[in-house]
Amino acid sequence: MMRNISKTSWPLLPILSTLPALRGASLAAVALAAIALSGCSVLPQAPSTTTTASTAGSAARQYHQAIDVSGRLSLRYQQDGKEQAVYGSFTWSQSKQETAITLLSPLGQTLATINIDADQATLKQAGKPPRIASDVDALTVQALGWPLPIAGLRDWLQGFGQNAAGQRFTATPATDDSFSVTTADKWLIQYSNWQNPDNAADSYPKRIDLARNTTQAGDVAIRIVISDRQSH
Q: 74 or 61: which carries more pLDDT confidence?
A: 74
Instruction: Determine the Cα–Cα distance for residues 100 and 122; give it in Å rounded to an integer.
Output: 10
pLDDT surpasses 70 at 45? no
Question: pLDDT grade, residue 221 (50/70/90)?
Answer: very high
pTM confidence score: 0.74
Task: Using alpha carbons, select from 23, 39, 13, 26 the residue that is nearest to residue 142.
Answer: 39
Residue-level pLDDT at 23: 37
Q: Is the Cα torsion angle 96, 171, 182, 206 positive or negative in sign? A: positive
Domain CATH number, residue 122: 2.50.20.10
Question: pLDDT tens-digit profile of 57-73?
Answer: 445 688 999 999 999 99
Task: Give percent of the chain with pLDDT exceeding 90.
Answer: 54
Number of domains the chain contains: 1
Cβ partners under 8 Å of residue 222, min gap 6: 73, 74, 75, 76, 147, 148, 209, 210, 211
8 A C-beta contact, residue 155 and residue 47: no
Residue-level pLDDT at 20: 36
CA angle (220, 222, 225) in 5-degree steps: 175
pLDDT surpasses 70 at 39? no
In this structure, the chain runs to a length of: 232
pLDDT surpasses 80 at 4? no
Q: 203 or 131: which carries more pLDDT confidence?
A: 131
Average predicted confidence (pLDDT) for the chain = 79
pLDDT surpasses 60 at 26? no
Question: pLDDT grade, residue 37 (50/70/90)?
Answer: very low
Q: Give the 3-state secondary structure percentages of the chain, helix then strand then coil, rounded to 5.
A: 15, 40, 45
Domain span at residue 69 reads 3-231
pLDDT surpasses 90 at 97? yes
Residue-level pLDDT at 217: 77
Residue-level pLDDT at 33: 37
pLDDT surpasses 50 at 47? no
